[in-house]
């Protein structure tokens, strides 16, 4: 395990998906990771629950791929389209998560609010 909690958690989710498990127990988590899980839950890809022993149990509902972006590129509003083409299979399919001054936003909301930031992860 590395020092990056977000990439470790997303790798655990993808590894369990590859062996066809529907639940993953993640022991290390942060506020950033929980906010990322909240966005994924709103979009209907996962469901998560924080247990009393401070672990997170993630249930995979419909998820093709989720990965952290390393290094975390800074993008302005005008450059978001370039990274959509790089990481997502289609412009209308998938979500790019951007950390902005307004919190974590999906790329559509970042364009709508006219803010840029660092790319954290993507999922579809």
- DSSP track, 81-105: HHHHHHHSSBTTBSEEEEEETTEEE
From 60, 85, 105, the end of a domain falls on 60
Predicted local distance difference test score (pLDDT) of residue 2: 73
Give the residue from 76, 67, 74 showing the smallest Cα distance to 111.
Answer: 76
Tell me phi and psi for residue 46, to 5 degrees: -135, 170
Predicted local distance difference test score (pLDDT) of residue 1: 61
Domain that holds residue 88: 69-123
Count of structural domains, the chain: 2
Q: Do 86 and 104 belong to one domain?
A: yes
Q: pLDDT 10s digit of each residue in the chain, 124 long?
A: 678 999 999 999 999 999 999 999 999 999 999 999 999 999 999 999 999 999 999 999 999 999 999 999 999 999 999 999 999 999 889 999 999 999 999 999 999 999 999 999 999 9
Q: Do 42 and 77 belong to one domain?
A: no
Predicted local distance difference test score (pLDDT) of residue 8: 96
**In the structure encoding, which two tokens stand for residue 104, read together?**
């974590």
């Amino acid at each position: 395990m590395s020092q990056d909690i977000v990439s470790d958690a997303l790798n655990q989710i993808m590894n369990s998906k590859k062996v066809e498990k529907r639940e993953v127990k993640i022991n290390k988590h942060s506020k950033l990771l929980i906010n990322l899980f909240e966005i994924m839950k709103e979009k209907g890809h996962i469901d998560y629950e924080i247990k009393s022993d401070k672990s997170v149990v993630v249930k995979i509902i419909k998820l093709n791929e989720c990965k952290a972006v390393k290094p975390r590129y800074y993008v302005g509003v005008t450059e978001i389209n370039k990274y959509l083409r790089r990481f997502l299979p289609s412009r209308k399919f998938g979500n790019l998560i951007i950390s902005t001054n307004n919190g974590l936003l999906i790329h559509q909301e970042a364009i709508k609010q006219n803010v840029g930031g660092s790319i954290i992860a993507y999922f579809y």
